[in-house]
Structure 1
Amino acid sequence: MSDLPTPESLVLTSRAEVATERPARYAKQLVSHMGHKVPVEEIENGHRITFNRDGNFNGYGDVLVFASERGEQLVLLAHADDDERLSRVEGVLGRHLEKFGERDGLKVVFER
């Protein structure tokens, strides 16, 4: 993965803060599922998913769990170098998480 750009070098980032009482569970489920298809690595407060399937790099998705005054929170960050790739990363992260959290009514809305 060393030949890929760093997330900090990518010009676009978006963020989704997902309300849930079980952020760690959903983070683990999302990362485990995606890890069967694309590289995943542990980072501070969570995991980074590298959207590089079949050599087609689209960007990174960070799946983070934070403690706040309101309790724990699941935060998704999408990093990419253009709008199309950012939309693709957001879509994959959002669709999968909403599917996993359908019973709990999870909604993922990214803000740029």
Structure 2
Amino acid sequence: MTAFTFLETHGMPTSQARVQTAEASRYLQQLCRHWSHKFKVEATPEHGTVPFGEDRVCTFDAEPDALVMRIDSADPVNLTRLENVVADHLARFAFRESLGDIRWSRAA
């Protein structure tokens, strides 16, 4: 069972953010490439998955006008930490444009 399958079947807390940008695919690929040095990342130009651990995973979906990011984590503290890590990395890769505040919304 993969980390993502475990999280999906066990109803872990999730957090999602939708960031308006015409460069969603580019940022998705940069983020996945960056983390592929430490984690077993799966990525296409439209979808990426980064398993940050057995109970933490981030998925990225590139839409024509936005990057949708979702974090699943068994631990709310890790969820908050990963929200910050992912948002900070995206901001660094997107330094040429103003993405505004990245707002995460949570569901259990």
> TM-score per shorter chain, which class?
0.7 to 0.9
Q: Give the one of 74, 94, 98 matched to 1:105.
A: 98
Q: Which runs of 4+ in 1 moved over 3 A?
A: 2-5
Deviations 1:71-100 (A, max 9, x none): 432100000012101112212111100111
Between the aligned partners of 1:3 and 1:24, the Cα distance in structure 2 is 24
Q: Which amino acid in 2 is paired with 1:94?
A: A
Specify the alignment match of 1:12 in structure 2. 13
1:103 match: secondary structure = coil
Contact 1:10 1:80 in 2 (8 A): no
Q: TM-score, normalised by structure 1?
A: 0.79
Alignment of 1:79-90 (within 5 A): 79-90=72-83
Q: Which amino acid in 1 is paired with 2:60?
A: V
| Total equivalences in the alignment | 102
Q: TM-score, normalised by structure 2?
A: 0.81
Higher share of residues assigned strand: 1
After superposition, the CA RMSD in angstroms is 2.0
